[in-house]
Structure 1
Amino acid sequence: MSGLVIPIEGPDGARTPRATNLLAPNPSPMTLDGTNTWVLAEPGAEAVIVVDPGPQDEGHLRRVAGHVGERRVAVILLTHGHGDHSDGAKRFAEMTGAPVRALDPRHRLGGEGLADGDVVTADGLEVRVIGTPGHSFDSLCFWLPQDRAMLTGDTVLGRGTTVIAPDGGLTDYLHSLDRLRTMAEEAGAEALLPGHGQVLPDPTGALDGYIAHRRQRLDQIRAARAAGARTPAEIVEIVYADVDRSLWPAAEMSVRAQLAYLDGSG
């Protein structure tokens, strides 16, 4: 797989030739093992790109800075603005002097924005920006053509499935999954590098699974409504009966998004 090294013990330290993951210490039912901070660089280069510094955790940010070492942080990129990915960005920018680029202007610091089709470079490294709204309105993915690897933020997780947050939408999300699936096949993608969880070495298979799961959930919600369930909470009790109850509030967010989709407003 083009030199991909994927440790089986967990996401921390997972790498491709140009991407290394440093796991933030913020595990939870929503963040899985924690937030994946990705450090991107050409082998031997003097400049790096850091994606998603993670939460406001001084120890983690110092660990990332220590990994970068004497190299220069050319830019900090955000896959989206949710706090487990972005809250540490301002502090990390202070530590490194690097600008923060994001789609949402509220999360930018000292630099340009980011938009679908942009290309970000640093000392020979190329990162292509892919607009993938759905999990949130400002979600982005990043394509590393030299590694044939895609950083997916929360659009695709290393295990399980993502929620549709209140600032996202299922119509956009399904379009984004379809777009990523097409791109992965056409570009010969070899790995998905998620914002939480382990590296996925079968991109098309993972995306096929995500798309099928969403369609299946829609069918289950249709069936639950036909059986008399009306509120999101009632639908969660039926459709997500096999899911840990601690995740039901997140499931209810996704149900609201799916109901909006089915009712034509999503």
Structure 2
Amino acid sequence: MEHLAFPTVLSPGIAVLRADNPSEMTLEGTNTYLLFDPQTTQLSHDTEIVVVDPGPDMPAHLHALAAFDVQMILLTHRHGDHSGGIPLLHELTGAPVRARLAEFCRNAAPLSDGERLEFCATTLRVLFTPGHTSDSVCFVREGQQGALFTGDTVLGRGTTILEHPDGTLADYLDSLARLSALADMPLHPAHGEQHAGSHKLLTAYREHRESRLEQVRVALAKLGKAGADAEPAELLDLVYPDLDPRLAGAASSSLEAQLHYLAVNS
């Protein structure tokens, strides 16, 4: 195995190792987080850690994680750029894996909403936050050094897709409201930049969704249709006039979610 990458320490008890899987959907790559005792003065390969999102099935990335004393592996949701590394990392470390869906768990039960996980002098609270996918969860590190790990529910920049019909806009708006009700704290997304606070970004996300819904309403009016009668392809150019063609599928999925929301809530 070639030289192993070493994580970047972000703050006491939190480090990140980014997978080398950049794309228009994953931005610079998947951020895998290593959580450890906040009182630990220096991260070393002897440090006990919990992994949040092992990332894709990329051996170099997974061996770099396995070089630490992995106590547990947590998953924010099922997509392969987050979950693909589970089999190999579990094999390398023997660490239990917990996710909302039982099919991704190894030697452990599925996560429960509101559950508190105690490890490495740290408490993590589990929050179910469906919308991006139905199985999406976020993790809140409790205590004076609070932190929010959002998976793909909130990205470091840009906006996330809603994988309709599995992910719905109603669920997503409820999830954003749930996160906004938390104290302002550092936000650590699975893709993109870190954020010193959560409230500003969450507010921007809610405003973006409301603005996008208004754009869809205007587009429907131009077509003379209601949400229940329109197809995403009819609205794509009206709502996303400068869309990168590589993102057409993601935009269509989000339009499906918006049309469904308007049809149900009209």
User: Could you say whether these structures have the same fold, taking a TM-score greater than 0.5 normalized by the shorter chain as the test?
Assistant: yes
Per-residue displacement from partner, 1:70-127 (whole Å, max 9, x unpaired)?
Answer: xx31110000111110010111011011011000111111111102111111131111
Per-residue displacement from partner, 1:36-56 (whole Å, max 9, x unpaired)?
Answer: 100000133952110100000
Report sequence identity in percent: 44
Name the CA distance, whole Å, in 1 between partners of 2:121 and 2:197. 27
SS at match of 2:124: strand
Name the CA distance, whole Å, in 2 between partners of 1:19 and 1:236. 40
Counterpart in the other structure of 1:5: none
Note if contact 1:80-1:103 (Cα within 8 Å) is conserved in structure 2: yes
Name the stretch that deviates more: 55-64 or 45-54: 45-54
Name the CA distance, whole Å, in 2 between partners of 1:14 and 1:240. 38
Residues 1:162 and 2:167 are matched in the alignment: no
Counting only pairs closer than 5 Å after superposition, residues 81-230 of structure 1 correspond to structure 2 as 81-146=78-143, 147-166=145-164, 167-183=166-182, 187=183, 189-228=184-223, 230=230
Counterpart in the other structure of 2:26: 31
Note if contact 2:132-2:153 (Cα within 8 Å) is conserved in structure 1: yes
Name the CA distance, whole Å, in 1 between partners of 2:98 and 2:104. 7
Kindly provide the amino acid, as one letter, of the partner of residue 12 in structure 2. P
Name the CA distance, whole Å, in 2 between partners of 1:16 and 1:131. 25
Name the CA distance, whole Å, in 1 between partners of 2:128 and 2:9. 24
Note if contact 1:53-1:61 (Cα within 8 Å) is conserved in structure 2: yes
Name the CA distance, whole Å, in 2 between partners of 1:39 and 1:202. 19
CA drift of 1:182 comes to 1.1
**Which structure is larger by alpha-carbon Rg, 1 or 2?**
2
Counterpart in the other structure of 1:4: none
Note if contact 1:14-1:199 (Cα within 8 Å) is conserved in structure 2: no
Name the stretch that deviates more: 80-89 or 238-247: 238-247
Note if contact 1:47-1:122 (Cα within 8 Å) is conserved in structure 2: no
Counterpart in the other structure of 1:245: 245
Name the CA distance, whole Å, in 1 between partners of 2:9 and 2:240. 31
SS at match of 1:214: helix
Name the CA distance, whole Å, in 1 between partners of 2:18 and 2:9. 9
4+ aligned runs moved over 3 Å, structure 1: none
Question: How many pairs are equivalent?
Answer: 246
Closer/same/farther in 2, CA of residues 219 and 14 from structure 1, 3 Å limit: farther
SS at match of 1:151: strand
Closer/same/farther in 2, CA of residues 14 and 226 from structure 1, 3 Å limit: farther
Note if contact 2:122-2:142 (Cα within 8 Å) is conserved in structure 1: no
Kindly provide the amino acid, as one letter, of the partner of residue 94 in structure 2. G
Name the CA distance, whole Å, in 2 between partners of 1:19 and 1:240. 37
Kindly provide the amino acid, as one letter, of the partner of residue 116 in structure 1. D
TM-score of the superposed pair, with normalisation by structure 2? 0.89
Name the CA distance, whole Å, in 1 between partners of 2:9 and 2:203. 23
Per-residue displacement from partner, 1:120-165 (whole Å, max 9, x unpaired)?
Answer: 1113111111111111001000001232210000000000000001
Kindly provide the amino acid, as one letter, of the partner of residue 201 in structure 2. A
TM-score of the superposed pair, with normalisation by structure 1? 0.89
Counterpart in the other structure of 2:49: 48
Unmatched tracts of structure 1, length 5 or more: 1-11
CA drift of 1:14 comes to 5.7
SS at match of 2:264: coil
Kindly provide the amino acid, as one letter, of the partner of residue 13 in structure 2. R
Note if contact 1:141-1:153 (Cα within 8 Å) is conserved in structure 2: yes
Note if contact 2:128-2:136 (Cα within 8 Å) is conserved in structure 1: yes
